[in-house]
Amino acid sequence: MAEIPDHLLKRAQEARERQADGDETTPAITEEKSESKIPDHLLERTVAAKDREPVATATAQVASSAPLPPTGSGPGGNTQRLLTVVKSGSIQDVKLKPVDKVHVWPHLLIVEFVAALAITAFATIFSIFVNAPLLELANFNQTPNPSKAPWYFLGLQELLTMFHPMVAGVTIPGLALFLLILAPYIDKNPSNKPEDRKFAISLMTIHLMFWGVLVMIGSFFRGPGFNFIFPWAEGLFFEL
């Protein structure tokens, strides 16, 4: 509680004594107030503070017996409790907020390492029991007709029959790979739903369909001399 100057207390006491004398002293009190420079609201606040002094003293005695909470001096010299200065969120919010990101190690690399081990083991066991479909020894005096590349290169061989080798072997595959590399930077939507990833789904579908159609044409529709044929009319010229 703020301390009241002694001269204000003295004047308030004199005013109460004159008021207790009755109506006869009313003019004197009025004259004293007119001569005094103290505003009326300060005098009223002083009288109210005097009336609250016994209650405040009893409260202070009770509070002095209990441990006081940590206090600090706030703006303007006001005494404030510490909990009114510190943000409540920094004290009460103790639960961890879920995040959608994890570290590459160990979460991702362990899964990839286990998958690589499983594929390696499967390929090793499969190669032990199943022989690769190899042909007889090559005869350099007799070139097979048609001479086809392995099935996974037949799409590129098919492009060579349509375009210049520079265009078919460098330009078109380079542009396709470049677009696939840029896809994650152009389509940054993290959703797994196909309707939300139209650009990425369309790009990959076009790439697979384009390459798949070329492989199928080179495998089943190319005969002697790598000429276009119908397999149901002239036979099937396809080997793994």
106: cis peptide before it, omega within 30°? yes
Instruction: Read off the pTM.
Output: 0.46
Tell which wins on pLDDT, 104 or 220. 220
> Residue 148 — φ and ψ, nearest 5°?
-110, 150
What is the tens place of the pLDDT at every residue in 142-157?
888 888 888 888 889 9
Tell which wins on pLDDT, 86 or 4. 4
70: cis peptide before it, omega within 30°? no
Nearest to 181 by CA among 192, 173, 191: 173
Residue 27 has pLDDT above 80, yes or no: no
What is the tens place of the pLDDT at every residue in 77-129?
556 555 555 555 555 555 666 667 778 888 889 999 999 999 999 999 999 99
What is the average per-residue pLDDT within 70-83?
54
- CA–CA dist 145, 152 (Å, integer): 19
